[in-house]
Amino acid sequence: MADVRVKICGLRSAADMAAVVAAGAGYAGFVFFPKSPRNLTLEQARLLAFAAPPGLAKVALTVGADDATLDAIIDAVPLDMLQLHGQETPERVAEIRERYGLPVMKAIGVADEGDLAMLTEYSLVADQILIDAKPPKGADLPGGNGLSFDWRLLVGRKWLRPWMLAGGLTPENVAEAIRLTGARQVDVSSGVESAPGLKDAAKMEKFVRAAT
Ligand SMILES: O=C(O)c1ccccc1NCC(=O)[C@H](O)[C@H](O)COP(=O)(O)O
């Protein structure tokens, strides 16, 4: 599968960054969400971002962050993209995009066909759309739960913006997910971990190989 770009989300250490680079991923994601096992400090993220080679896009994931939080992240960490993984409205997405001048990827949780209208709505204001599984009711995390959705919902659909498939992808299922949905970009976190928040270099390598 040529030309598929992989995002590996939730890096926390220099070893994670080295493994992402060695595997050949196109995006590296840093999670700024205190409840997450993948949460990292501004200083940790700054060091990892400076260790990233040119061409690897550095993405900060936030959840309903206010301007002060985003200001602090952007001041500390050299970034290529913001990933908004909360309940940000289309107006807020547009505001963030305008304020920071960085491309914005809006994550949308999908469980059934009724959720697809939101993808169209947000593709009018975001630079990219991340199509993720909807978290279970009452979940601590709005993403990164290792759950997938029915990929057949995406068959034959088109959106105005580039999009990325996420949710429960693993080295074992990513090729089938790409085949079915036609995704040109995929995002993974839990599926390349040995425990929550602990990335596994061998799984990262296997995932990128299976996806590309
Ligand atoms: O990873 C987290 O802990 C997290 C916390 C809060 C919001 C989103 C979070 N993760 C999002 C992702 O890592 C991915 O973009 C996506 O949800 C895929 O995750 P997974 O199903 O674990 O592969």
Interface predicted TM-score of the whole assembly (ipTM), two decimals = 0.96
Alpha helices in the chain (DSSP H): 14-23, 42-51, 67-76, 90-100, 116-123, 174-181, 201-211
Which residue of 35, 145, 174 sits with most ligand 1 atoms within 8 Å of its CB, as the best mutation to test the pocket? 145
71-100 pLDDT tens trace? 999 999 999 999 999 999 999 999 999 999
CA–CA distance, 145 with 190 (Å, rounded to integer)? 7
pLDDT of residue 1 exceeding 60, the answer is no
Catalytic, 9? Answer: yes
Ligand 1 midpoint to CA 102 (Å): 20
Do the beta carbons of residue 173 and residue 209 sit within 8 Å?
no
Sorted by where each starts, the structural domains of the chain and their CATH numbers stand as: 5-211 (3.20.20.70)
Q: How far is CA 94 from CA 123, 204, 212, in A?
A: 11, 33, 32
Answer whether residue 54 shows pLDDT above 60.
Answer: yes
In eight-state DSSP terms, residue 188 is E
What is 17-56 written as a DSSP string? HHHHHHHT-SEEEEEE-TTSTTB--HHHHHHHHHHSPTTP
pTM score above 0.90 = yes
Atom 14 (ligand 1) nearest CA: 144
User: 3-state class of 91 per DSSP?
Assistant: helix
